[in-house]
Every structure is written in structure tokens, then in C-alpha cells.
A and B are shown apart, each in its own frame.
Chain A
Amino acid sequence: AQSVTQPDIHITVSEGASLELRCNYSYGATPYLFWYVQSPGQGLQLLLKYFSGDTLVQGIKGFEAEFKRSQSSFNLRKPSVHWSDAAEYFCAVGARYAGNNRKLIWGLGTSLAVNP
């Protein structure tokens, strides 16, 4: 069955430090992959996505993610974290060949806290 694992429930980093949030997926073929961010009281905002091509994808707010097929991973990175990055981060995968549906399967999320 399709599944997404985000091994880190909570991460705390200092402002200006680098960040890597892990995401592993289980899927029978190459899925398409997303990272979403949810700030307190807000909805789900798309950070970046991978469909095909270059395995290193750039997103908004200075985030990037790298798709590694051999590791079934799609880790999110940012070289220098800002206090405003404190939020919940979700990795999601979707079926590449799912007809009209393309529902998303979600990880549990990683809560990021940023120390000043």
C-alpha cells in the first residue's frame, strides 16, 4: 500500500542554521511528490513539487528538495532557517497514473520550531 513516512515529529533549529526534513515513501512506481507547509491557523501552502526531470527541485521561501529514487526519499532542505519558517511541514505523494483521481497520501508531518 502507498504510504509516506516523516520520521521526525518535532525538530528545533536555531535561526540561521541549515535544515533538512526527511520524507520516505512507499509506492509501486515513481509517484509525484509534494511538500506543503501549514502555519498555525492557516491552510496548506505548496512549497514545491516533483513530477519528473531534474531531481533537485526549488520551491518558494528558499526551500529545495531532492528526489532520490534509490532511497525512496524526498527530503526538504533550506540552507538558512528564518524564524518565520516555524510551522508544520507535510510530505505528500500522489499516483502518477490514477486517471481522474490523483488523491494525495500524506505523512504525519514534522513540526519545526526555530530558536532565535
Chain B
Amino acid sequence: EPEVTQTPSHQVTQMGQEVILRCVPISNHLYFYWYRQILGQKVEFLVSFYNNEISEKSEIFDDQFSVERPDGSNFTLKIRSTKLEDSAMYFCASRLTRGSYEQYFGPGTRLTVT
């Protein structure tokens, strides 16, 4: 069964460093998402992406964040200068078509900023 994959599973970085979280969505899906879950808090929407552009972003997704689909398979989330409060689990998800509702989630990347 096709699945969303994410790498790395755990990333430790120092404050101020850039990190790139990688996701490979399900191959024929068209819509892509990043969510994050700070420990003990709700899963929060960060950004949605379709047709090579951001379709919606939350207030969390400020200028320090960017997303890219550099090729036909990868979907990346970049944090330019990490802060302690960026420590969280980051989930990638993909959705098939405009008419579909279900999002398929990857296993997540745990980002720890020290």
C-alpha cells in the first residue's frame, strides 16, 4: 500500500541553524501539507501546497519557513534559522485530488532545537 515517507525520523540542531525536513508524498497525490505537534499540544496546520504554490499558510508559517517541491517526488519544509520553540514533531500529509477529503500522513520528523 502506498504511503507517505519522511526523513529523517529525528533531527537535532542548534538554535540558529537551518534545517530541511523531507517528505515523499504518495506518488499520484496532488495536494501536500505540513503540520506540527509541539509536545503535549494540538497538531497544528502549517501550510498547504498545490500546483507548485502555497494555497494556504497559518500564522505560524512566517518568513523563517518555506516549502518546496524540487522534483516530482519530494516535498520539503525548510526552517531558515531555528528557534527553541520550533522543537516539535513535524508531519507531512498528502491528498489525492480536489474532490478527495482524506489526508494520508507520514510518520513524522521529530525536530529538537538545542
| Partner-B contacts on A (CB < 8 A) | 32, 34, 36, 42-46, 49, 51, 90, 92, 94, 99-109
Contact = CB atoms under 8 A, between A and B. Distances in A.
Interface pairs A-B: 3 shortest CB-CB: A43-B107, A106-B43, A44-B105
A44 B55 contact: no
A103 B33 contact: yes
> SS class of chain B's interface: helix, strand, loop or mixed?
strand
A108 B33 CA distance: 19
Nearest to B43: A106
**Interface-centre pick from A90, A99, A101, A108 (highest chain B CB count, 10 A):** A101
Contact of A43 (B48, B50, B101, B106): B106
Given A100-B31, A100-B48, A101-B56, A106 B42 contact: yes
16 contacts: A43-B105, A43-B106, A44-B108, A45-B105, A46-B104, A46-B105, A94-B101, A101-B48, A101-B55, A102-B95, A102-B101, A103-B33, A103-B45, A103-B56, A106-B43, A108-B42
Nearest to B33: A103
Contacts of A49: 101-102
A51 B101 contact: yes
A105 B45 contact: yes
Contacts of B95: 102
Interface in B8-66: 31, 33, 35, 41-45, 48, 50, 55-56
